[in-house]
Amino acid sequence: MTNIRPYQTGLTSLLTHIISIPLFGLAFILIYRSEWINHWMMLPEPKWHTLNILVLFMIQLVVLCGSRIPMTVCKIRMPWVYYILWTLGEVVVTSMLFALYMALMNRGSYMYFPCVGHCLTVVLGVSVIPYVIVNRGTATKKEESGDANPDSLVRFCDFTERLKLIIAADAILYIEADENYCKINYLEGERPREYSLRNSMTRIQPLMEKQGIVRCQRSYFVNPKHVKVLRRDKEGVIMAELDAKGVKDIPVSPKYYDNLNQKLL
């Protein structure tokens, strides 16, 4: 299952979501003044119109901040299906809080749960457009800025040639053989991650060589860009120390030492 791209949880995406989506809803209400808007807001008196608009704007802003800030801080990666469900969750929570506020403002006139259904229908309908525009606009900006340059991305397929993982070549730390799998160790932000790909080292070797990631031992590929130093341990085994925190040293066999050392010069 394909994960969302890193930019979906980046700072730009965070700011765009929490600013653009509430503003779109606010503009929609202010510009499209109609009877069904007033009915949806269930206004007891016209004098409450401005207050209600501001409260609804703040509710959506708070929900988006509570949802998107943890996603950005923790750099959460998830499949697209889960991301869509997460987004729908934002809409549902927003609708429930809208309904709570409106029910309290119209005590005795409306029941809470019917009000939730009414709010959900309207919020979902109004939010679809800004959500699509924001997510598509963020992706387009990344492509235009070169962050999604196809030449800098590595597409890993399993033994059936199904695409399983797309990551930047510079983010790859090392790849380790594990029986019928290749463990791809890479950086997500500054955090090391691991993905188990059902494929062989021999089959992915041409792809690795194309990206400048070299074999350093029978069971390892290493990215020279992340090799901090080559040294010998107490037993005389050559080890590649990487520049990422919390990552183990990678063994280098004499057969591949010269090639790797040339890459570091």
Cα torsion 76, 82, 84, 85: sign: negative
- Cβ atoms of 131 and 163 closer than 8 Å: no
Using alpha carbons, list the distances in angstroms from residue 29 to 36, 56, 121, 212.
10, 10, 15, 54
29-53 pLDDT per residue, tens: 777 765 555 555 555 555 556 777 7
CATH superfamily membership of 150-264: LytTr DNA-binding domain (2.40.50.1020)
* Phi then psi dihedrals of residue 179, to 5 deg: 55, -115
| DSSP helix/strand/coil, 198 | coil
User: What is residue 235's three-state secondary structure?
Assistant: coil
Per-residue tokens: 74: 């923790």
Tell me the pLDDT of the chain averaged across its residues: 83
Cα separation, 201 vs 183, whole angstroms: 10
> Kind and range of the H or E element at 44?
none
Tell me the pLDDT tens digit for each residue of 204-229.
999 999 999 999 999 999 999 999 99
Give me the residue label for tokens 């925190």.
245
Contacts of 20 (CB under 8 A, 6+ apart): 130, 133, 134
Closest by CA to 29, choosing from 126, 112, 171, is 126
> What predicted TM-score, i.e. pTM, was given to this entire model?
0.53
What are the domain boundaries of the chain?
Answer: 6-145, 150-264
